Amino acid sequence: MKQRVFSGIQPTGKITIGNYLGAVKNWVYLQEKYDSIFCVVNSHAITTKQDPYLLREQTYDMVAILLACGIDPKHSSLFIQSEIDTHPALSWILNCNIPMGEMERMTQFKDKAQKNPKNINVGLFDYPALMASDILLYQTDLVPVGEDQKQHLELTRNVAQRFNRDFGECFKIPEPLIAKSGARIMGLDDPTSKMSKSSTAQNHAIFLLDTPKEIEQKIKKATTDSHSSIVFDPDRKGVYNLLCIYELFTQKSREEIETEFIDQGYGVLKKRIAEAIISTLSPIQEEYLKIRHQIDYLAEVLNQGREKVQPIAESTYKKAKELVGLI
């Protein structure tokens, strides 16, 4: 039996090359090796105010993008979170077994609350419980996570271990699966902060559906420094970030890349980075445009994914419910 991998992505905001290199590209690789379950976590998205029509459209946009990137329904189960009601149902049981202190320590809540002080709602605070439910429902072995989600996964592991101890064996304890590279692509305008699809800064991120001209312009404006050499030096954050992006898009070794840019300037580096990004994204964009409005096809993929995973989720929830004494 293959080990099971579960991961999810919010549909709001345009997907960036950081999301692609740090998560989605890795998912495509993982689906050949693991029993893979991937979820568009639209319920998580409503912790901030959303336009209902736009949220529905963005949810299907994300499904089409994931398929265009290479998520294969023959090898993976892809579904929409809100279509399986056991996600919020299990999160209530988990809520009743998570101490307030554990939730209050979640740094992501603190960061989001600081950025949006007028929208500090219970759902935003409770986000990690629903995330734990997403993972535990499917008896997940491994969760591909970035550094910023490790704390949430640790909470998931804690609540699962505590539940199994107090009520009886129910949940598999998931382990983190962290990519060796690509897990943290930084902003082009500010290489000290992670590239984010929620940023409104014009030259912060490259999105998967950006035109070649937009990509070229954003790379041209990317932060570098006043040094003359082009080498992988983590202390030179702007250049290091650009080189990491080039490394991941070309699959060249660091030695090859440093040799390639001996006696070259940043203009040449940025030109080749833009070319590498455009050549990778062009077929993804073509496939996305081809399938985005094939609603019957998207519905078939999602129904197939839901029908495959729903029995797993219902079985887990039924067991948890019985163990805590709910009828």
Q: Please, what is the average pLDDT of the chain?
A: 93
Same domain for 261 and 160, yes or no, is: no
Give the single-character DSSP code of 15: P
Q: How confident is the model at residue 131 (pLDDT cuts 50, 70, 90)?
A: very high
Residue 127, burial from CB neighbour count under 10 angstroms (0-12, 13-18, 19+)? buried
Residue 93, burial from CB neighbour count under 10 angstroms (0-12, 13-18, 19+)? buried
Q: Is residue 242 a contact partner of residue 224, using CB atoms and an 8 Å limit?
A: yes
Domain CATH for 303 = 3.40.50.620
Farthest-apart Cα atoms in the chain, separation: 72
Has 194 been annotated as catalytic? yes
Q: How confident is the model at residue 152 (pLDDT cuts 50, 70, 90)?
A: confident
Bridge pairing between strands 175-177 and 142-144: parallel
> How many CB atoms sit inside 10 A of residue 324's CB?
14
Q: Which of 25, 112, 218, 270 is catalytic?
A: 112
Q: Which domain holds residue 36?
A: 4-177+294-323
Q: Which of 14, 74, 172, 197 is catalytic?
A: 197
| Total number of domains constituting the chain | 2
Q: Which of 25, 74, 115, 194 is catalytic?
A: 194
Domain CATH for 251 = 1.10.240.10
Same domain for 16 and 44, yes or no, is: yes
Same domain for 170 and 28, yes or no, is: yes
Q: How confident is the model at residue 148 (pLDDT cuts 50, 70, 90)?
A: low
Three-class SS of residue 14? coil
Q: Please report how the helices 52-69 and 266-291 are oriented relative to each other, as an axis angle in degrees rounded to 10.
A: 110
**pLDDT score recorded for residue 153:** 92
Q: Is residue 302 part of a domain?
A: yes
Q: How far apart are CA 46 and CA 123, in angstroms?
A: 8
Alpha-carbon distances, residue 262 vs 230, 243, 257, 265 (angstroms): 7, 13, 9, 9
Q: How far apart are CA 201 and CA 198, in angstroms?
A: 9
Q: Is residue 196 part of a domain?
A: no
Q: Is residue 205 part of a domain?
A: no
Has 197 been annotated as catalytic? yes
pLDDT in tens, 49-94: 899 999 999 999 999 999 999 999 999 999 999 999 999 999 999 9
Q: Is residue 247 a contact partner of residue 55, using CB atoms and an 8 Å limit?
A: no
Same domain for 60 and 164, yes or no, is: yes
Q: Is residue 266 part of a domain?
A: yes
Same domain for 144 and 47, yes or no, is: yes
Q: Is residue 122 part of a domain?
A: yes
Same domain for 304 and 269, yes or no, is: no
Same domain for 32 and 58, yes or no, is: yes
Q: Is residue 77 part of a domain?
A: yes
Same domain for 278 and 311, yes or no, is: no
